[in-house]
Amino acid sequence: MNYETIFKKYKNAGQEHVFKFFDELNKKDQEIFLTQLSQIDIDQVSTLIQQATAHKLTQDTDQLEPLPQDIVDVSHPQWYQNGLQLIAENKVAVILMAGGQGTRLGSQDPKGCYDIGLPSHKSLFQLQAERIQRLQTLASSFYSKNSIIPWYIMTSGPTDIPTRQFFKQHNYFGLSEQNVLFFKQGVLPCFNLQGKFMLEEKGKLAVAPDGNGGIYNALHREGVIKSLKERGILYSHCYCVDNSLAKVADPIFIGYCASRHTDVGIKVVAKNNPEEPVGVVARRNGKYGVVEYSEISDELANMRSNLDGSLAYGAANIANHFFSTDFLERVPSFANQLEYHVAHKKIPFIDASTGDRVFPKEPNGIKLERFVFDVFSHSEAFSVLHVDRADEFAPLKNGSGAGVDCPETSRTAILNQAQRFITMAGGHYQDQSIEVEISPLLSYGGENLEKLNGKFIKKSCILNSLDDVYSQ
Ligand code: UTP
């Protein structure tokens, strides 16, 4: 598309102000800017802006109901075996959502590169890679097959290059390069409260990733669905990069969902208290979905079940999902019914009157996002698995020292889990100051530690193999 065509499109959409500084740009920057502008579906974005500025995206009239108790299951040993078998048959993939900008954490690097301060200093990406590798080993040896769990990693504009580089630098953490596949989510232009696009630079629109729900478009556009089908993958485990305890490709969850012919599955934990700022799984207008913390009234948040006195809206979402490939393939058939969520943010911009860059102190613009759970209402066979928070959920959201959902809480969660695994195996710590980190390559979920029965661990260590204890 040439300048005239693009200008006309933007003028028709009332966004021609983005060309204000065009003549000041050199030839190369003009071309880069025109390429960016031409890649935006301006008609679609204009409709979204109209909806957002008219506040049509709010959901005040929604009818909420708690999750029926009979839809929630708790772990059963048979599911582990079912899941491991599906992994052994190469029918399971892992999809990671790692496109977020991690603004609260405040690190320059993608969140997955973060070192939460474990004795080994492994990054979140490394922990997750090693869990995958361990499961491949377990499935391969149990079923005498060469099991592969392909790992599809969703990045975004800001995280794509550094994420790829990090994996390359670390040799894919021992996984095979051809089974670690990156794909990039889309972006949407940011706009001010009057619905006008904002310039990040004189020749660059301010854009932001389209939320973790951008995953569905990206899966199709970037050829992931095709790849899943070519590899014969039936089920995927989809999770967020920032859960330090993420049980990647959890065989129990896979086995559970598959045995119920689930198309969309979700793990939940008990909400800690009515005020905890987490989304809960519930029914909205008769369909399953996640109700965000901000969408639920105090009265509903405090409501208790008549059966056992637990919170009626107490099934907290930990962003661990199961999808059948069939379901993922079906998403485009209803994608245009999915709404965008409005997020008011502080967006740096070029002031049109002065040409200067402004860093606002208050939210001055809007980002539009979709959430991964927006599709749940279209599920035809929805399953919910109740899991133990201590073993499954330690989110890394905030910077060091925040006291909640921060590197320190993630580190503690992993080391406490190791202690539980060792105790379950019959081992003991000589004293309470001891810290043991168990490499995921040695044990995925507490297995393989039986030889620690009766053993006293005398000093802090990283357990890469049981020899590390015998040699103490
Ligand atoms: P959050 O909503 O917590 O965002 O993402 P974030 O980027 O990690 O952190 P803040 O809000 O800027 O501080 C939850 C998960 O969804 C992914 C993130 O990478 C994280 O795994 N995500 C988020 C995406 O993949 N894409 C997005 O556009 C947004």
Report how far ligand 1's centroid is from the alpha carbon of 50 (Å).
25
**Which of 128, 182, 212 is the pocket-test mutation for ligand 1 (most atoms within 8 Å of CB)?**
212
> Taking the model in full, what pTM does it have?
0.93
Q: Whose CA is nearest to atom 10 of ligand 1?
A: 102
Q: How far is the CA of 308 from the centre of ligand 1 (A)?
A: 34
**Weakly modelled stretches of the chain, pLDDT under 70:** 53-61
Using the mean position of ligand 1's atoms as its centre, give its distance from the Cα of residue 125 in Å.
Answer: 15
Can you tell me which atom of ligand 1 is nearest the CA of 156? 26
* CA 252 – ligand 1 centroid, Å: 26
Q: What is the pLDDT of residue 52?
A: 72
Residue with CA closest to ligand 1 atom 7 = 100
- The number of the ligand 1 atom at minimal distance from the alpha carbon of 240 is 21
- Phi/psi at 288 (nearest 5 deg)? -70, 145
Ligand 1: which of 240, 290, 373 to mutate, judged by most atoms within 8 Å of the beta carbon?
240
Q: Indicate the top mutation candidate among 94, 95, 96, 101 to test ligand 1's pocket, ranked by most ligand atoms within 8 A of CB.
A: 101
Q: Within 13 A of 414's CA, how many CA atoms are on the CB side?
A: 33
Closest Cα to atom 9 of ligand 1: 102
- Ligand 1 is surrounded, with C-beta below 6 A, by 97-104, 111, 154, 156, 185, 209, 211-212, 214, 240-242, 397
Atom of ligand 1 nearest to the CA of 98: 19
Our mutation pick for probing the ligand 1 site, out of 242, 371, 397, counting the most ligand atoms within 8 A of Cβ, is 242
Measured by CA distance, the residue closest to atom 17 of ligand 1 is: 100
Instruction: Identify the residue whose C-alpha is closest to ligand 1 atom 14.
Output: 240
Q: Is the CA virtual torsion 224, 227, 228, 229 positive or negative?
A: positive
Nearest CA to 175 among 229, 131, 236, 214? 131
Residue 385 CA to ligand 1 center (angstroms) comes to 23
Given the CA of residue 97, which atom of ligand 1 is nearest to it? 25
Atom 22, ligand 1: which residue's CA is nearest?
Answer: 100
